[in-house]
Structure 1
Amino acid sequence: MNLQTLFQDFNPSKFVVHTCLLIFTILFALKLDKCVSWSFWIVFTPIWVWKVLVIMGAIVGSYVWWRYPHFRLEGEAYVHYKSMLISLALHLILLMFELLVCDKLESARHLWILVFIPLIFISIVSVAVCIWAVKHDRSFELELFCAVNVLQFIFLALRLDGFISWSWEVVFVPLWIVMCLSLVGVLYTIIFAAILLRTPEVSAQQRRSSFHSAVGYTFLVIPILVFQVLLADKLDDDIRLSYIAVASPLFVSFVTLILMSFSAKGGNKWWFGMRKDFCSFVLGACPLLQEYANIAYHSERRTNGVELESQIVGAKEKTVKRADLLKPVVPIISIEIPD
């Protein structure tokens, strides 16, 4: 295990987001099953932690940006900083939606269509954000998710308010379409990985990377599809499973996303004013870790004392034989003395 290699492609933003979503999903399922009696404000704690980290990271990054003007000349600093501000704005609107959801679940004082208005607004704005991100080579996972599901959000709000009486399988039609396209992408990655495994001209690193991508996307998409089927049947009262059992495939997807965050690379370098990769920032802030980051650990088979001694003796014999071969050949002359 090489510590520096493990963290040099680590994406802390995705790790935090997916970890918070995993914990929140577990707590929310337990709350729906009435296994815990906490209020929804406590159940939403992982979401609040996520948003607090986003706001604090943007504040610290903005302070560094205005406090040290010469940092703005570093490469694509303007693009990174604008990307951080756009992400902050979207997260603030998303925070408004989450606050309304939590208040609706606690008090039921609003219509769901009013609760979903911030999310629908994000979905519309995300189309322009995705175009900007493609133009400037920035990641846009959250924006793409919101942009392709705007119709799904409208159907959910109308169904929860009772304006439509469709079954949940029909309500989830926009999501079925997205999942079908995702399955096509998974099938493509599997076929591509199989082709690379049979191509001798491809390097071992490329084969390994394609294989890991195929496995990762398979464990990401298939559990989400299973979760969607179980959830639709659960809401239509076709099956009698607990919500924690229904959400269990979703846990697999979140764990997969957490593991994939260690090789996600990228990320905005202006969060918390780091201006560099997470690994380089941590090693620079904690010089004592550099000693451990430069150590690589390898697992090898241990031998007992007899085998180790025989190996040492064998090595000595080989050394002696090599030394004998290197000796010059000296002729021996026998002299006979007559009586």
Structure 2
Amino acid sequence: MCMEMNLQTLFQDFNPSKFVVHTCLLVFTALLALKFDETISWSFWAVFTPIWIWKFLVVLGATVGTYVWWQYPHFRLEGEAYIHYKAMLISLAIHLILLMFELLVCDQLTTSNHFWILVFIPLIFISIVSIAICIWCVKHDRSYELELFCAVNILQFIFLALRLDKIITWEWEVVFVPLWILMCLSLVGEWVLYSIVFAGILLRAPEANIQQRRNSFNSALAYTFTVIPILVFQVLLTNKLDDPDHSKTSYLVVVSPLFVTYATLIIMSFSSKGGNKWWFGIRKDFCQFLLSVFPLLQEYANIAYNNNNVNRGSTGLGEAQEPYRDEETDKKGKEGKKSNKNQKKNEAMKPVVPMTSIDMPD
């Protein structure tokens, strides 16, 4: 089996936005669980630090992208620059409203001076606006994962706010009914089962190549490790909230299935492709930008390492390079190239003799 490692292949489909978001959410979830378990005594403002870092990077990236947009007008003519820039501004607006919600949540957890229904107003507003944004994204072939998540969970947000304010006194398993329906029908029915069945069909289809089978199997595996842990988390959280006095399960154990989901999403960010090219005004794919900023990486991205002595070529930027050669092989190769060059040179120096035709007598 040949094991290859190619730096460019690793980063050419990398989506830095998803990587940053899922990493920040992973750290924030762990800190919040430790705070509720009273394992750490940090304030909620400190616990929300990964969220503040996420929003800071969004604002900084949009600011730099806007500066490049107005400072260099000729960049606006590059391909779909206008659509990318407009999508960046829409994403910035969504994140700013989401930041308002997070500030209110942090203040409410610290002081308890507000009604939860007022705290959730920015999130409910995002859910309503996200419906129109999803339509625009479909029309212009843009990704809309955050907007879709907010749009389909508007009823869940309302139930959460009413339950936290004790306007309704339902059990938490009833409060989470919209999320149960969404997870069971939309996620499990359309993502996991569909991907597993499709992967099984491709594995048995003789006309499918190895790459197609591998991609379908990886997709089925990724969706499974994304959805199933979320369902387990919902069950553990419901049991914890409905019986807080007798439940000995810590919040860190409750959120532990989410760590599997976040880890899967972080790994998937290396093959997600897409992404807006106007964040920070880079105007190109992240891999190309990274190689342009650090030219030394081009040397490593140009080499494919494997455990065989036979070089199978490189998918990098330049010519293929063999991982190892001994001195004798190099010497023979140079002598062979030199003899071939001399032979071609001698053939080129030969005089050209016109072709003559001798007719045979009758």
Per the normalisation by structure 2, the TM-score is 0.82
Correspondence for 1:287: 295
Alpha-carbon deviations, 1:276-303, whole Å to 9, x = none? 00000010111111111112222459xx
| 2:221 counterpart of 1:212 | no
User: In structure 2, the residue corresponding to 1:275 is in which secondary structure?
Assistant: coil
Pairing 1:1-339 to 2, within 5 Å after superposition: 1-181=5-185, 182-185=187-190, 186-237=192-243, 239-299=247-307
Instruction: Tell me how far apart the structure 2 counterparts of residues 299 and 100 of structure 1 sit (CA, whole Å).
Output: 55
- What letter corresponds to residue 8 of structure 2 in structure 1? Q
How many residues in Structure 1 have an aligned counterpart in Structure 2?
A: 303
2:360 — aligned with what? none
Q: CA 1:299 to 1:110, structure 2 compared with 1: closer, same or farther past 3 Å?
A: farther
Offset of residue 240 of structure 1: 2.4
Residue 284 of structure 1 aligns with an amino acid whose one-letter code is S
1:38-76 deviation digits (Å, cap 9, x = unpaired):
000000000000000000000000000011111111110
1:325 maps to which residue?
none
Structure 1: state its 5+ residue gaps: 302-311, 313-339
Return the alpha-carbon distance in structure 2 between the equivalents of residues 209 and 64 of structure 1: 37
Counterpart residue type for residue 183 of structure 1: V
Structure 2 SS opposite 1:247: helix
Counterpart CA distance in 2 for 1:176 and 1:48 is 30
Structure 1 CA distance, aligned partners of 2:134 and 2:145? 9
RMSD of aligned Cα (Å): 1.4
Q: Name the CA distance, whole Å, in 2 between partners of 1:172 and 1:160.
A: 13
Measured in 2, the distance between the counterparts of 1:252 and 1:297 equals: 30
Structure-2 change in CA distance of 1:197 and 1:172 (3 Å)? same
Letter in 1 for 2:116: W
Question: Which amino acid in structure 2 is aligned with residue 174 of structure 1?
Answer: P
Cα 1:263/1:109, change in 2 over 3 Å: same
* 1:287 match: secondary structure: coil
Q: Give 4+ residue runs of structure 1 displaced > 4 Å after superposition.
A: none
Equivalent position of 1:307 in the other structure: none
- Fraction of identical pairs, as percent: 75
**Uncovered stretches (5+) of structure 2, i.e. residues with no partner:** 310-325, 327-362
One-letter amino acid of the structure 2 residue matched with residue 172 of structure 1: F
What is the deviation of 1:239? 3.5
Tell me the distance in 1 between the aligned counterparts of 2:203 and 2:109.
51
Name the residue aligned to 1:318.
none
**1:196-249, CA deviations, whole angstroms, 9 ceiling, x for partnerless residues?**
011110111111111000000000000000000110110001742000000000
Q: Distance in 2 between matches of 1:80 and 1:159?
A: 40
CA distance in 1, matches of 2:161, 2:145: 23
Q: Secondary structure at the match of 1:138?
A: coil
Partners of 1:120 and 1:127 in 2: how far apart?
A: 12
